[in-house]
Amino acid sequence: MANIKSAKKRVLIEKERRVVNNSVKSEIKTYIKKFKEALANDVDSAAEIYKQLVSKLDSAARENVIHANSAARKKAHFAKLLDDAKKSK
């Protein structure tokens, strides 16, 4: 633990942020799993889940939970999966 008062505050703030960031990342992973399951079963429901997933990725990138390029890469990847599924349908 730090000795300086401001450093102690930073440690506490980072602990709080870590909890929030891990929660957001976990939520994104959950939506990714839902999207992949829906993609295997029903393309229309996968499209709805994709919209929610994109929203979660954008907000996480905006809040610097994940890097903006990482969010863009994931969105492009899942958009391609969705598009391929629609074409093969």
Predicted confidence (pLDDT) per residue in 8-27, tens digit: 999 999 999 999 999 999 99
R_g of the chain computed on alpha carbons:
17
Looking at residue 88, what is its pLDDT?
86
- Cα separation, 28 vs 6, in Å, equals 32
Looking at residue 2, what is its pLDDT?
79
Domains and CATH numbers, the chain: 27-88 (1.20.58.110)
Predicted confidence (pLDDT) per residue in 22-43, tens digit: 999 999 999 999 999 999 999 9
pTM score: 0.88
